[in-house]
Amino acid sequence: MLEEQNKKKRGGARPGSGRKKGMIQKLSGSEILKQIQRTTGKRFEQLLAEHYMESMLRHDWQAVRDYEKTILAKVVADKVDVTSNGETVGAQFVFPQRELADWSQIPVTITTDAKDRS
């Protein structure tokens, strides 16, 4: 019975735990990037490019692939704006003003005779 009571106390939300409402994040990504620049004298983007090139010169192909995946993920994320559902947000389509020449002869409606479907 004592064992069952101890199990009930494990997991789940606990009163007073977690970040309090209105608290700010103590460590932000921008602060990390600023500190890297202050420490190294170079912007993070420059360091990333240099380390990528060094990996290529060392023939460290695993590191090169990791850099490429990371860089490509950022490039794609910047190019495609998606919702949490994976659906594109604000997609804009530009349709040509004139139909393709091959399609201009296709009738808008096509009728069929139900007898012909047998």
pTM of the model: 0.45
- In this structure, is residue 109 part of a structural domain? no
Inside any domain, residue 91: no
Q: CA 54 to CA 74: how far, in whole Å?
A: 20
In a domain, 106, yes or no: no
Is 104 within the bounds of a domain? Answer: no
Residue 97, domain member (yes or no): no
- The token pair at 68 is 């490429």
Range of the domain at 36: 30-81
> pLDDT tens, 2-37?
566 555 666 777 887 777 787 777 778 888 899 999
Within-domain flag for 9: no
Judge whether 102 lies within some domain.
Answer: no
Q: Are 76 and 69 in contact (CB under 8 A)?
A: no
The whole-number pLDDT of residue 53 equals 94
Return the pLDDT at 76: 75
Number of domains present in the structure of the chain: 1
**Residue 105 maps to a domain:** no
